[in-house]
């Protein structure tokens, strides 16, 4: 049932996972003489939660940055929706419907939560600068529609009580949630989460896991996430890519990965003989 084909299948908990939406083919990324990613290939399927894990310095964030267009790999190809993607700037990637959050939160600290989330709607705004300033006709209608979409996300992530609070005044866990809200506001087809649970306590992690699952379930968003916490990864994801020193050492369902000897060695260390 869980085979790697282009066809869709249904998971144990009743979600439909579609065909491949994004494929990384033989990606190699170098910084000078340092090889951050070495010849890695994997794919992401429609509607799945795909995790990238690995010890520190394994190249996980580099991989995410390749997907989001921030780094340009020296070798290899990124295929998106069945087409080879030409080299792109991050904003062009974002316009294609790939949204992300950052490991160390990148919000506008002085702006309210509402305004921050509204910035996520930028790809759904067409009115020009002048029209927006005059706030007439199309610009007005557009803002009302965007505000409605944002309010639904605020409701979804249960952050109504901080709607008007400047982000700078919020605790860490809530900032993470606001960042997720902003990424969701773009209505992405693929959502990239860079360590969404880093630095959280158990309760916050549980909340965040709930939201990730709900986003996937409710909007059918494809999610690719990087995470340190093995427990979280194994519970959340459908398939896992394991990286170590820039190489792919495992790829499969959580159960397959868990029993993979290379993965165990990478995480627990291996005796040198």
Partner 1 sequence: MAQSSRAADGFVSIPALLKRNASEFGGRPAYREKEFGIWQSWTWAEAEKEIESLALGLINLGVEEGDFIAIIGRNRPHFYWTFVAAQSVGAIPVPLYQDAAAEEMAYVMAHCGARFAVVEDQEQVDKVIEIQDELHQFEHMIYVDPRGLRKYDHHKLHIFADVQEQGRAAYWEFIEDLKARREKLDYDSICVMLYTSGTTGKPKGVVLSNRNIIESSRSSAEFDDLTRREEVLAYLPMAWVGDFIFSVGQAYWCGFCVNCPESPDTMQTDLREIGPTYYFAPPRVFETQLTNVMIRMEDAGRLKKWLFDVFMAHARKVGPAILDGKPVGLWDRARYALGNLVIYGPLKDTLGFSRVRVGYTAGEAIGPEIFEFYRSLGINLKQLYGQTEASVFITLQPDGEVRNDTVGVAAPGVELKIDDTGEVYYRSPGVFEYYYRNEESTAKTKDADGWVATGDAGFFEEDTGHLRIIDRAKDVGKMADGSLFAPKYVENKLKFFPNILEAVAFGDGREQCTAFINIDLNAVGNWAERNNIGYASYQELAGHPKVLDMMQDHVEEVNRSLAEDSMLSACQIHRFVVLHKELDADDGEITRTRKVRRNIVADKYADIIEALYDGSKEISTTTEVTYEDGRKGSISATLEIRDAKVVPVESRKVAAE
| Footprint of partner 1 (CB under 8 A) | 13-15, 147-148, 151-152, 154-156, 158, 160-161, 163, 203, 213-214, 217-218
Phi/psi-derived region of residue 245, left when phi > 0, alpha when psi is between -120 and 50, beta in every other case: left
User: Comparing C-alpha atoms, which of 204, 257, 236, 248 is closest to residue 50?
Assistant: 236
- Two structure tokens written together for 255: 């159960």
Q: Residue 15 or 30: which CB sits closer to partner 1?
A: 15
The distance of closest approach from Cβ of residue 187 to partner 1 in the complex, given in angstroms and rounded to an integer, is 16
d(CA 68, CA 129): 27
The distance of closest approach from Cβ of residue 53 to partner 1 in the complex, given in angstroms and rounded to an integer, is 25
Half-sphere CA count of 75, side-chain side, radius 13 A: 11
User: What does DSSP say about strands 239-244 and 247-252: parallel, antiparallel, or unpaired?
Assistant: antiparallel
Q: Residue 11 or 28: which CB sits closer to partner 1?
A: 11
The distance of closest approach from Cβ of residue 21 to partner 1 in the complex, given in angstroms and rounded to an integer, is 22
The distance of closest approach from Cβ of residue 174 to partner 1 in the complex, given in angstroms and rounded to an integer, is 11
If DSSP codes are grouped into helix, strand and coil, which group holds residue 258? helix
Residue 162 φ then ψ, to 5°: -115, 15
d(CA 47, CA 44): 9
Q: Residue 7 or 148: which CB sits closer to partner 1?
A: 148
Residue 80: strand pairing partners: 22, 83
Q: Residue 159 or 233: which CB sits closer to partner 1?
A: 159
Q: Residue 198 or 213: which CB sits closer to partner 1?
A: 213
The distance of closest approach from Cβ of residue 261 to partner 1 in the complex, given in angstroms and rounded to an integer, is 33
Q: Residue 93 or 212: which CB sits closer to partner 1?
A: 212
The distance of closest approach from Cβ of residue 15 to partner 1 in the complex, given in angstroms and rounded to an integer, is 8
Q: Residue 151 or 187: which CB sits closer to partner 1?
A: 151
Residue whose entry in the numeric block shows the structure tokens 């499969």: 252
The distance of closest approach from Cβ of residue 124 to partner 1 in the complex, given in angstroms and rounded to an integer, is 17
The distance of closest approach from Cβ of residue 249 to partner 1 in the complex, given in angstroms and rounded to an integer, is 33
Q: Residue 183 or 212: which CB sits closer to partner 1?
A: 212
List of E strands, the chain? 9-10, 16-17, 20-31, 34-45, 49-53, 75-80, 83-84, 98-100, 190-194, 222-226, 239-244, 247-252
Alpha helices in 85-127 (DSSP H): 90-95, 113-119
Contact call for residues 24 and 213 (beta carbons, < 8 A): no
């Amino acid at each position: 049932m869980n085979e790697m084909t282009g066809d869709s299948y249904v998971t144990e908990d009743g979600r439909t996972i579609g065909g491949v939406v994004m494929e990384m083919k033989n990606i190699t990324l170098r910084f000078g003489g340092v090889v951050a990613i070495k010849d890695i290939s994997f794919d992401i399927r429609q509607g799945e939660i795909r995790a990238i894990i690995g010890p520190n310095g394994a190249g996980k964030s580099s991989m995410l940055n390749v997907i989001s267009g921030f780094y340009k790999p020296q070798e290899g190809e990124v295929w998106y929706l069945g087409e080879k993607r030409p080299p792109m700037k991050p904003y062009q990637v974002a316009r294609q419907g790939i949204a992300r959050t950052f490991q160390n939160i990148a919000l506008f600290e002085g702006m309210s939560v509402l305004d921050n989330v509204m910035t996520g709607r930028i790809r759904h705004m067409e009115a020009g600068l002048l029209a927006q300033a005059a706030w007439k006709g199309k610009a007005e209608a557009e803002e009302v529609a965007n505000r409605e979409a944002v309010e639904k996300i605020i409701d979804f992530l249960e952050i109504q009580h901080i709607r008007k609070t400047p982000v700078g005044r919020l605790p860490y866990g809530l900032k993470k949630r606001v960042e997720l809200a902003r990424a969701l506001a773009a209505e992405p087809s693929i959502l990239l989460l860079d360590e969404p649970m880093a630095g959280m306590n158990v309760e916050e992690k549980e909340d965040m896991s709930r939201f990730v699952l709900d986003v996937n379930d409710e909007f059918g968003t494809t999610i690719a996430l990087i995470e340190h916490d093995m427990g979280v990864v194994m519970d959340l994801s459908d398939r896992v890519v394991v990286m170590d020193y820039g190489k792919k050492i495992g790829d499969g369902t959580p159960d397959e990965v868990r029993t993979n000897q290379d993965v165990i060695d990478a995480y627990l260390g291996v005796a040198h003989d």
